[in-house]
Each structure stands twice: as C-alpha cells, then as structure tokens.
Amino acid sequence: MLTIQSETDKQAAKVGLVTAIIVGAGHRSLVYASYAEQHPEELQIVGVADPDPVRRVKTAEKFGISETMQFESVQALAAKGKVADAIINGTMDAQHIETTIPLLEVGYDVLLEKPIGVTQEEVLRLLDTARAHGRKVMICHVLRFAPFYAEIRRRVQAGEIGDVISIQTAENVSYHHMAMGFVRGKWNNESKCGSPMLMSKCCHDLDIITWMKGGVKPVSVSSLGGLSYFRPERAPEGAGTRCLDCAIESDCDYSAKKHYLEQQLWGPYVWVHSFLGVTPTEEEKMESLLKSNPYGQCVWHCDNDVVDHQSVLIEFEDGSTATHVMTGGTSRPCRRIHIHGTKGEIEGVTEEGSFIVRHPDPRHGHEYSEEKVVLNVSNDMHGGGDLRLVADFVRVLRGEAPSLSTTSLEDSIYGHLIGFNADVALHEKRVVELPQL
C-alpha cells in the first residue's frame, strides 16, 4: 500500500518530533508542556495522567488529547506499555519516585520536576533504576538555563576567574511567597509535602553551587536555622485565625485579602483549577477564604513546621567551600551569588539582570578592574529558564549534544545530597559527611 506523507509529517520525521505525556497536570507541568504550543514541530503532548477529573479533562482539551490517552493513574498508563517518547512529571514532591520508576521500567525518558525525591534513599533508588533501564532523566533545575546563571557558568568554565575557591549564594523569599507556599500552602508542613524547606525551595540554589564547581564533589555539610517567626506565640495582638474576619487585617502585611484578592497574587495556587481556566467568582473567592480555603488562614495560626531561615556550609573534595543562606519573609525577593576564584570574582543579583566580573589590578592608582555584564533577561518564570529547559530536553531526546546547562540525573543529584544531609546536620547539630557515588 502506498502511504502519502503530508509536508508536516515529513518535517516532523526529519527533525525528530518528540511525543510526551503529562503526569500530574498541575501548574508546573503545564508551564513545561506549553513548549509544545510554541514549537509543535518539536514537541507534541499526546497523553495525560491525573486522578483529578477536572485537570485531566481540561488538559486533554487544551492539547487535543484523545480519550484513550487520558489516564486516572500512573499504573493505568504503565499498563498500556510505551505509547510516547517521554514523560513530563509534575506531581508533588512525595509522589515523584512512585510515579517515575514504573514509567522508567516501561521505557520512557522523563523530565522530572524538582526535588527528585524526598529522601536520599529514594533519589539513589531512582538513579539505580534509570541506569538499569538505560533511560534519560532530566531534573527541572530551571535556573541553570536562565541567561544570568548560564553566562556565569560559561565564564567560570572558561577560566576567567581561575579555580573556584568559595561560593556564596542567598535566596530571599518574599513575604507573600513565603506565606503562600511555605506557611499556608502545599509546602508548609514536612509530613504533608514530604520535603523540608531547603529541598522544596532551595534545591535550585544547591544545584547551582554544585554546577559551578564543575564536577568537583561535595564531601561534607553543616547547617543552622529554624522556625522563628511564623509561630502562634508571635501573632500580633488581636489576630484572628482567618484573615477575612480578623480585626487587624487592614494593618497586616500577610493579609490574604490584600495578597489574593486585591493584588491577585499566586492565583494558580490559591484558586483550585484556575490555571486551567476554571476561575471562581469574586463572591466564591471571598467565601472560600472565609471558610475552607487554606490560603485564608492567619500565617501565625497554620500547621506549618518548615524553617523560615536556614544557613548551609558545604566543603568540596578540593578544599573549596560554599555557603547558602535562605531567608523567608523578606520585603524584596531575590537571589544573590558571589563566586571567588584564584584570578578574580563574579558577583550579581538574578533579578537585576546583570553581574560584575572583577579582577585584581595592582597598578599604581588602581585596586581592581570591573566588567558589568548585562543580559537580556526574559520575563518568563525563573529568569527565562523554564522553556529553555524543555528545549534542551527535546534536543537530548533527539540525540543532539547536551548543553552546558543540561540537568541530567547523575549531575543533579549532588545538590540533593547536600540538602538532605544539611537537614540532618541542622537537627543533630553536627557536620555530616556526604555519601560518595
């Protein structure tokens, strides 16, 4: 029989169209999957697995997914065998391993949201499984792809500041982000989400640190921190348990009314299914914040138990060191980095879209030279890294050379080992030696 291909089919075959299935049709998965809408000749979303019927159906409508490719569970998807090239897994932290391993065993390659897993043992088990089945797993450490960090890494690798001696990073989590995600929201309680604050929020930063070291292994870690402010005893006088019936709401920086109604912040998280176009009315929003919506709770009367500040100190096998400081509840959100090398230093703030490269200059009348590197920073999430990550994943699956930023499981695991053991160090107040792979 003679088969006639359309020009679209011919082009897809030529460039190697990658087909993918969304597992966990939440906000992050749909951000990554949106690459298929912008570049349909490279990526096509052909399936969805999610127990929530609204998310499942709305996602299917969005991407034109047939009914036979809509699954209520990973088990149902795996039972069908391999019916696409890859998985985009955006499930919650504690579900990452249980939803990824069965699909690796079937033969899928996976783009996996961070953190990889919620324990060191889980992460190592996933690594063993991926290796045993010869599958590719890329972790969504999107900051590697942000122009700010990618250009710094390029310059470090090129030797512009010599050998890296120390790295300092800091993440300042804004008051409204802290309240949404880590006091009221899905990552506020380690027993519920499975991840401590350091892993759910700062595994990006720990990954950046290990990435900048270019394969030099971390060997030990220590850490200090705690939950100091978002506690019942720190509640202002007159504070209620829910914002919309609180006597001091109008004067409170953490007012849910101000954040989610007036400023319309964090809608995809606060209003269930809103990221799929199912948006409640203003009256329904008010009613939910007043009664059942967890985002309507007073930040001093939640069931949160994750830290609101933490400092981490890391030692590498070559004797170099790094520190990371997480502070929750700051006025301004930002990430800072300062890398000191044997021939110079690099320093910058991600949100400013530029960094400084300095070198010693001992000439008379001088002390140092300075170059300001200004970048074309995107307004996309994570400094433009989200869709650059997906583009790299597609290239790798098509057999092309990985980029400098590629977040392979084997490379991305080191930041996780730091994070898990930093929490051991925090609770046991000691220096912890890291396992060597």
User: Hey, is 369 helix, strand or coil?
Assistant: strand
The number of folded domains in the chain is: 3
Q: How far apart are CA 113 and CA 49, in angstroms?
A: 15
User: 391-409 in b/e burial notation, b at 16+ Cβ within 10 A?
Assistant: bbbbbbbeeeeebebbbeb
Amino acid 437: pLDDT: 81
Tokens of 255: 């007012």
For the segment 228-257, what is each residue's pLDDT rounded down to a tens digit? 999 999 999 999 999 999 999 999 999 999
CATH number at residue 215: 3.30.360.10
Is residue 403 in a domain?
Answer: no
Distances (CA, A) of 95 to 63, 84, 116, 135: 24, 21, 10, 19
- 3-state SS, one letter per residue, for 145-175: HCHHHHHHHHHHHCCCCCCEEEEEEEEEEEH
For the segment 117-153, what is each residue's pLDDT rounded down to a tens digit? 999 999 999 999 999 999 999 999 999 999 999 999 9
Which of 263, 296, 329 is at the close of a domain? 296
Q: Average pLDDT in the 27-37 region?
A: 95
Same domain, 158 and 128: no
Amino acid 3: pLDDT: 32
For the segment 323-341, what is each residue's pLDDT rounded down to a tens digit? 999 999 999 999 999 999 9
Same domain, 123 and 150: no
Q: How far apart are CA 94 and CA 406, in angstroms?
A: 24
Same domain, 241 and 269: yes
* CA angle (206 as vertex; 173, 190 as ends), nearest 5: 60
Residue 11 predicted with pLDDT over 80: no
Amino acid 4: pLDDT: 33
Same domain, 160 and 13: no
Angle formed by the axes of helices 27-38 and 53-63, nearest 10°:
10
Which of 121, 139, 157 is at the close of a domain? 139
Amino acid 16: pLDDT: 84
Tokens of 377: 């920073």
The set of residues, in sequence order, having a beta carbon less than 8 Å from that of 173 and lying 6+ positions away, is 182, 201, 326, 327, 328, 329, 330, 333
Is residue 397 in a domain?
Answer: no
Is residue 220 in a domain?
Answer: yes
Residue 62 predicted with pLDDT over 90: yes
Q: How far apart are CA 240 and CA 244, in angstroms?
A: 9
Share of the chain above pLDDT 90, in %: 89
Of 138, 52, 59, 35, the residue nearest 92 (C-alpha): 52
State the sign of the Cα–Cα–Cα–Cα dihedral 258, 259, 265, 268. Answer: negative
Same domain, 117 and 252: no
Q: Average pLDDT in the 32-38 region?
A: 96
Q: Average pLDDT in the 203-225 region?
A: 97
Radius of gyration of the chain (CA): 23
Beta bridge partners of 358: 345, 370
**Pairing assessment for the beta strands 109-112 and 309-316 based on DSSP bridges:** unpaired
Same domain, 187 and 325: yes
DSSP 214-277: TTPPEEEEEEEEE--SSSGGGSPTT--SBGGG-TTGGG-TT-HIIIIIIS-TTHHHHSTTGGGT
CATH number at residue 71: 3.40.50.720
The set of residues, in sequence order, having a beta carbon less than 8 Å from that of 430 and lying 6+ positions away, is 222
Amino acid 14: pLDDT: 40
Same domain, 203 and 341: yes
Residue 7 predicted with pLDDT over 70: no
Same domain, 106 and 214: no
**pTM for this predicted structure:** 0.91
Contact (Cβ atoms closer than 8 angstroms) between residue 98 and residue 194: no
Amino acid 383: pLDDT: 62
For the segment 252-292, what is each residue's pLDDT rounded down to a tens digit? 999 999 999 999 999 999 998 887 888 899 999 999 999 99
Amino acid 376: pLDDT: 72
* CA angle (437 as vertex; 218, 132 as ends), nearest 5: 145
Q: How far apart are CA 294 and CA 299, in angstroms?
A: 10
User: Hey, is 12 helix, strand or coil?
Assistant: helix
Same domain, 264 and 120: no
DSSP 55-118: HHHHHHHHHT--GGGEESSHHHHHHT---SSEEEE---GGGHHHHHHHHHHHT-EEEEPSSS-S
Which uninterrupted H or E stretch holds 384? helix 381-397
User: Hey, is 350 helix, strand or coil?
Assistant: helix
Share of the chain above pLDDT 70, in %: 95
Q: How far apart are CA 347 and CA 354, in angstroms?
A: 9
Q: How far apart are CA 115 and CA 263, in angstroms?
A: 29
For the segment 371-403, what is each residue's pLDDT rounded down to a tens digit? 999 987 655 555 678 999 999 999 999 999 999
Q: How far apart are CA 213 and CA 255, in angstroms?
A: 41
Range of the domain at 367: 143-229+306-378+408-433
The backbone torsions φ and ψ at residue 197, rounded to the nearest 5 degrees and listed phi first, read: -55, -40
Which of 277, 296, 315 is at the close of a domain? 296
Average pLDDT, the chain: 93
Same domain, 22 and 99: yes
Same domain, 358 and 263: no
Is residue 244 in a domain?
Answer: yes
Tokens of 246: 């609180």
Same domain, 205 and 312: yes
Is residue 177 in a domain?
Answer: yes
DSSP 8-state symbol, 303: -
